[in-house]
A and B are shown apart, each in its own frame.
Chain A
Amino acid sequence: MNTKSALFKEHMVELRLFGVLLGLMVVLSLISDRFLTVDNLTNVLWSVCLIGIMTTGAIYAPITGGIDLSVASMAALAGILANVFMNTLGMNWIVAILITLVIGAGIGWLNGVVTTKFLVPAFIVTMAAKTYLFGVAMLVSNGDQITIMEPAPFLQIGIGKLLGIPIPIYIMFTLVILSHILLKKTVFGRRTIAVGANEVAAKLTGVNPDRTRIIVYTISSVTATIAGIVMASLTQQAYAMNATGYELDVITAIVVGGTSLMGGSGSVVGALIGAVMVGFINNGLNLLDMPSAFHPIATGIVILVALIMNQGVSVPAVLKKWFARPGAAEAAK
């Protein structure tokens, strides 16, 4: 009984989120009869896949108390580079992907090194990376929307299906499972959480916070690269603006999923549910023909609400306290 209730407690956040998600789906299907169509759901799936893949790696930075803002630029650049390697330089597609991954890892490593060794806050470092990676992407692609026509196996990554299910879904779930195991079951996961919970204490118990952080930012960049490759293949396009703004969706998904930006805890499964929710919210706005300006507004509100919920304070109690202040009554009059 004890282990059962403990298990339940451990997954409370995820279960609660799942409930909210189901509620959201019900609301959306009531609002729009286009919502529950195969076409629409497939559409949502694509964006969820890309955000979902990115969150599996990007989640580690918040767990250490940091953040990675460069994932979207990294993804766009990855698609452009892969295309250059395959179609300009004529490399085999597998080799091209591997080289792109190595470059992605290198950039993440650099982010990690600058934050840890030169003591620049991760926020600034990855913001700079976001900017310069975008610049490089523009430079390499000439700012063009390049259509990727070949090679065929490369295009299958995005549009191919296995047993009727699109391949990106397999990629996403594989990464979610790997990332979940990495966080919950491995020494590295423990160390990441410890660094976020109390860096000094972690250090004095044998954790190397710098090394841990460098690995964290490397992983983040690698999953962004994977997402970029999937995106290029899926859209058959290499374009510097392809993922613009995705980093906010990724952070929203992570935060909505119950990971605190203060560090010390996190849930990969929660972030996945968060990614699905972000996808649905954007989709819902589209279905309602809301102007695109509403997307950032909705995203912002969702982040705030999620953060408030994750603080564990009860909103009614806060309101009650607020109105119970001496003077509040007079002020209200």
Chain B
Amino acid sequence: MSNNVKSDLLLECRGIDKNYNGPQVLSKVDFSLRRGEIHALVGENGAGKSTLIKIVTGITNRNAGTIVFDGHDVPVEHNKNASEKLGIAVIYQELSLIHGMTVAQNIFLTKEPLLPGLPFIDIKKMNAMAQEMIEKYGFDLKATDIIDKLPIAQRQTVEILKALSNKASLMIMDEPTSSLTAKESERLFKIIRMLKAEGITVVYISHRMEEVYDLSDRVTVLRDGKLVSVLEGEEITPAEIIRLMIGRELTEDESHHKMVDKRDREVVLEVKNLSAEGKLNDVSFKLHKGEVLGFGGLVGSGRTELMRAIYGIDAFDAGEIMYLGKTYSPTVEKSIASGFGFVPEERRLQGIMGGISITGNIGIANLDSISSPAGFVSRDKELERTQTAISTLNIKPANPDHLVGNLSGGNQQKVVVGKWLIRDLKLLIVDEPTVGVDIGAKEEMYQTIDRLSREGVAVMVVSSDLPELTRLSDRIIVLRKGRIIKEFTEGVVTEEEVLRAASGIVEGGAK
């Protein structure tokens, strides 16, 4: 053990190998972190980023290799508690926070300040301590807020405070911005820079190259479980990172896709004066055959609620939905039978069935087409459907029996989208379709949506990723506080225009 002499490396991993009793997921990966740097870890879906992080934090164990953290050898039989003690923290989006508890309770969980001489928690003191931390970093929180009521971005800041209270010297963030809006991401970057200023090392995984470019001091690129390169300073450019990630040049196609007016086509869906208490307020629009209609807005603007109401998950109070010219009172089953497809917002809670295979996940959305009228499922048809979905979206590994819970995050998302794309659709609703999907796979997903729209499928896209929204949409509706506040119908919309509308800065038009 190298004692006392503090090297300038906080973490040094050498020759890390990992297989989950199957194919090699990481082979001979070296990964090192300097003290106080912001270090990005990038690579395609399934490259092994999350696995490397899980090894460092002790959630899973490596098969070979050495890890030295802050001068201490980390044993193979590493575990989560040990890594916390060493000062390694992972910022999850919500997993590790306890619902129903306050911000302060979560921050000080298991290390609550006690009343002097008594085995009772000193709640006043605890709240004061939490509030002091919140104010020190200028977070938009109160110590007594209940976790459940906070949006994801603020839960993240609670996670960060919790890590700070544990005196973490390394904070790891696995795709922290994947469900944040642009503005919330900006705020997070500010916090990350603040952490850096305090000497905390930050590891940051992201599929958004601009962020990586703006933020990081160094970048480690993984491909197929191998270290490709470590970039530093001037070497960090989005194009170079992408080239290293996918091993070839990404052909730039018209990513600022022009809007197309398709409003003279047959109306597929018409929403009239839809209102739902506290969520939607008098929303009306028409969706046409082959049209891709984008929905912009901030989190909480009612976009997701609108999609859920149309698909038949939540009830609405007033208004009418017309589908193919007839009044339509939606239920999920009816919607699916009528040719709807629906990709929900939250993959883990609403999208995947982690404990069953890719085939099982794809099959369940396609039972109608893979079973006989008597209710018997054809295993052959089910497999054939699954293979189609796997090859359409390039799901890796391409093994239909693989448990979805054991896929990488991006590949799980491909399964959630894929189960709909193989259906005979008339209307596709996608809510944040590319969360966690890598840049190459994203483009494949866009092209699939383009193809569907050419085939006449009407598509509604909700996305907080503005480049995605402008890339996909033929027309964009912006919601704010449950109302339609702006509609963009022609020309090239810039991300800024959408953002201004979403924030309520609208020239002319609706108030």
Q: Is B150 an interface residue (CB 8 A)?
A: no
Given A6-B401, A324-B77, also A187-B352 (CB < 8 A): no
Task: Report the nearest B residue to A181, measured CB to CB.
Answer: B376
- Considering only residues 184-212 of chain A, those with a C-beta below 8 Å from chain B are 185-191, 193-194, 197-198, 200-208
The answer to the question of A265 belonging to the interface, with a C-beta cut-off of 8 Å to chain B, is yes
Establish whether residues A264 and B376, one from each chain, have CB atoms under 8 Å apart when the complex forms: no
CA distance A38 to B353 in the complex (A): 47
Tell me whether A264 and B332 are in contact (CB under 8 A): no
Q: Does A16 contact B (CB under 8 A)?
A: no
**Docked-complex contact B77 and A187, CB < 8 angstroms:** no
Q: Which of B3-11, B130-138, B221-229, B359-367 lies at the interface? A: B359-367
Q: Which residue of B lies closest to A200 (CB)?
A: B350
Per-residue contact bits, chain B 369-386, to A (CB 8 Å; 1 contact, 0 not)? 001000111010000000
Known: A190-B377, A203-B332, A324-B77. A265 touches B356 (CB 8 A): yes
Q: Is A161 an interface residue (CB 8 A)?
A: no
Asked whether, in the complex, the Cβ of B355 is within 8 Å of the Cβ of A204, the reply is no
- Judged by a CB distance under 8 angstroms, whether B349 is at the interface is yes
* A321 in contact with B355 given A190-B364, A191-B364, A205-B336 (CB within 8 Å): no
A44-B349 Cα distance, complex, nearest whole Å: 45
B351 within 8 A of A: yes
B114 shortest CB reach to chain A, Å: 24
Q: Which residues of B contact A9 (CB under 8 A)?
A: 401
Does B354 make an interface contact (CB < 8 A)?
yes
Known contacts A193-B360, A321-B77; A206/B353 CB under 8 A: no
- B344 pairs with A204, CB closer than 8 A: yes
By a beta-carbon cutoff of 8 Å, the part of chain B in contact with chain A is 77, 79, 311, 313, 332-333, 336-337, 342, 344, 349-356, 360, 363-365, 367, 371, 375-377, 379, 401, 419
Among B332, B351, B375, B377, contact of A206 (Cβ-Cβ < 8 Å)? B332
In the bound complex, CA of A198 to CA of B403 (Å):
14
Min C-beta distance of A211 to chain B, whole Å: 10
Given contacts A186-B376, A206-B332, A206-B336, contact A201 B351 (CB under 8 A): yes
Is the pair B353, A194 in contact by a Cβ cutoff of 8 Å? yes
* A209: min CB distance to chain B, Å: 11
5 A-B pairs closest in CB distance: A197-B353, A206-B336, A264-B355, A205-B365, A198-B353
CA distance A75 to B420 in the complex (A): 44
A169 → chain B closest CB, angstroms: 27
Tell me the smallest distance from the CB of B1 to a CB of chain A, in Å.
15
Contacts of A190 in B (CB 8 A): 360, 363-364, 367, 377
Partner of B313, one of A193, A204, A208, A321: A204
Q: Which of B344, B350, B353 has the most CB of A within 10 A?
A: B353
CA distance A186 to B364 in the complex (A): 11
The contact sample of 16 A-B pairs, CB cut-off 8 A, is A187-B371, A187-B375, A187-B377, A190-B364, A194-B360, A197-B354, A197-B356, A197-B360, A203-B313, A204-B344, A205-B365, A206-B332, A206-B336, A206-B367, A207-B364, A264-B353
Chain B residues, CB < 8 A from A203: 313, 332
Complex Cα distance, B354 from A6, in Å, reads 20
Q: Nearest CB to that of B371 among chain A residues?
A: A187
CB proximity to B under 8 Å, residues A1-18: 6, 9
Q: How far is the CA of A205 from the CA of B97 in the complex (A)?
A: 28
With A204-B332, A205-B419 already in contact, the answer to whether A185 and B349 are too (CB < 8 A) is: no
A207: B residues at CB distance < 8 A? 364
**Interface contacts beyond A194-B360, A201-B344: sample of 5 additional A-B pairs, CB < 8 Å, sorted by A:** A6-B401, A185-B377, A194-B353, A200-B349, A200-B350
Instruction: List chain A positions with a Cβ less than 8 A from chain B.
Output: 6, 9, 185-191, 193-194, 197-198, 200-208, 264-265, 320-321, 324
In the complex, what residues of A have CB within 8 A of residue B377's CB? Answer: 185-187, 189-190
- Give CA–CA (A93, B309) in the complex, Å: 53
For the complex, give the distance between the alpha carbons of A208 and B371 in Å: 17
- Are B375 and A201 within 8 A (Cβ)? no
> Is B333 touching A206 in the complex (CB atoms < 8 A)?
yes
Say whether A187 contacts B332, CB under 8 Å. Answer: no
User: How far, in whole Å, are A120 and B364 apart by their CA atoms in the complex?
Assistant: 27
Closest to A9 in B: B401
Q: Which of A185, A188, A189, A201 contacts B353 (CB 8 A)?
A: A201
A205 adjacent to B376 (CB under 8 Å) = no
Nearest neighbor of B401 in chain A, beta-carbon distance: A6
- Contact: B352 with A198, CB < 8 Å? yes
When C-beta atoms are compared, the residue in chain A nearest to B367 turns out to be A187
Q: Are B364 and A205 in contact (CB under 8 A)?
A: yes
Measured CA separation A205–B343 after assembly (Å)? 9
Residues of B within 8 A of A202 (CB): 353, 364
Residues of B within 8 A of A194 (CB): 353, 356, 360, 364
A185–B363 Cα distance when bound, in Å, is: 12
Shortest CB-to-CB span from A60 to chain B, Å, is: 15
CA distance A49 to B363 in the complex (A): 34
Task: Report chain A residues within 8 Å CB of B379.
Answer: 185
CB distance from A228 to the nearest CB of B (A): 28
Shortest Cβ gap from B378 to chain A (Å): 9
Give Cα A187–Cα B360 distance, bound, in whole angstroms.
11
In the bound assembly, the distance between CA atoms of A198 and B363 in angstroms comes to: 14
The residue among A193, A198, A208 with the most chain B CB atoms within 10 A of its own CB is: A198
Nearest residue, chain A, Cβ from B336: A206
Please, which residues of chain B bring their CB within 8 A of the CB of A198? 349, 352-355
A265 touches B355 (CB 8 A): yes
Q: How far is the CA of A201 from the CA of B355 in the complex (A)?
A: 12
Instruction: List B contacts of A208 (CB < 8 A).
Output: 333
Report whether A201 and B333 are in contact in the complex, using a CB–CB cutoff of 8 Å.
no
Knowing A6-B401, A204-B350 are in contact, say whether A197-B367 is a contact too (CB < 8 A). no
> Given the complex of chains A and B, what is the CA–CA distance between A200 and B354 in angstroms?
12
Cα–Cα, bound, A9→B77 (Å): 28
CB distance from A179 to the nearest CB of B (A): 15
